Amino acid sequence: MRYPLFSLLAVSLLAGTVAGAQDAAAPPHDEAAPDAAPAAAPDAPAAAPAEGAAPVEDLSLGQPAADGPGTTYVAATHGDWEQRCVRTEDGSDPCQLYQLLNDTTGNPVAEFSVFGLAPGQQAAAGATAIVPLETLLTQELTFQIDAGAPKRYPFSWCSPIGCIARIGFTAEEVTAMKKGALAKMTIVPVVSPNDKVVLDISLIGFTAGYDAVNAANQPAAPVP
């Protein structure tokens, strides 16, 4: 057992006093005992670093994060959507409407992004869905707006971040999302092909966000 320093010191002084009393007679009353020199205070032990703590010289103080071309930033929030843009050298930052999709327990599962397309095409808007790599790709992705008829979309490719489906929405479908309250995206996991994972996509703020993204993506007017 280890004792505190002050306890060991007290025991040592007490033992020395008792031994001195046994070995030497007490001095006469009229003979003053020589003053004892004050004992030097022991040096306090240096505080030892906590076990597992990194040496001070190994600690990083961090550096400012890069914020140049190619970085993504949130330009605005519209209800449950974020207007995310990518910085470019000329300032014409392309933007899209973004929402992170969670499962019923609140865990993030997928990402969904929407952006407007140039007029005159069959698809008025494009969308990108990124789902986990463990998705059964042959079952494709199902998308439904409110109580409308669901549609299925194939996956285009997979990368280390997940599997991607590229979706085209008609003008009628964009209008339905602007008027709607909730869309649903359904995927099937590889480990449980008989089950379905249904992810809610809130449409709160979709109209304002979609219009803001389209306005941000308009080419700048030429300088006269």
Q: Can you list the domains of the chain with their CATH numbers?
A: 72-216 (2.60.40.1880)
Distance CA 77, CA 82 (A): 5
Residue 58 DSSP code: G
Distance CA 116, CA 126 (A): 6
The kind and range of the H/E element at 66 are none
Distance CA 182, CA 200 (A): 7
pLDDT for 10 equals 34
Q: Where are the alpha helices (DSSP H) in the chain?
A: 5-23, 171-179, 206-216
pLDDT for 58 equals 78
Token pair listed for 59 = 């600690």
Helices (H) and strands (E) in the chain, counts: 3, 11
pLDDT for 217 equals 95
Which stretches of 56-171 are assigned E, i.e. beta strand? 72-78, 81-86, 95-102, 108-116, 125-131, 141-145, 151-153, 157-159, 162-169
**Which residue in 133, 188, 126, 193 sits closest to 158, CA to CA?**
133
- The number of CA neighbours under 13 Å toward the Cβ of 55 is 2
Asked if 157 contacts 163 with a C-beta cutoff of 8 angstroms, the reply is yes
pLDDT tens for the chain, 224 residues long, are: 333 333 333 333 333 433 343 343 344 444 444 454 555 555 555 565 566 666 777 788 877 666 788 899 999 999 999 999 999 999 899 999 999 999 999 999 999 999 999 999 999 999 999 999 999 999 999 999 999 999 999 999 999 999 999 999 999 999 999 999 999 999 999 999 999 999 999 999 999 999 999 999 998 766 66
Residue 203: which residues within 8 A CB-CB, separation 6 or more?
A: 80, 145, 177, 178, 180, 181, 182, 183
Asked if 155 contacts 143 with a C-beta cutoff of 8 angstroms, the reply is no
pLDDT for 55 equals 72
Distance CA 88, CA 108 (A): 29
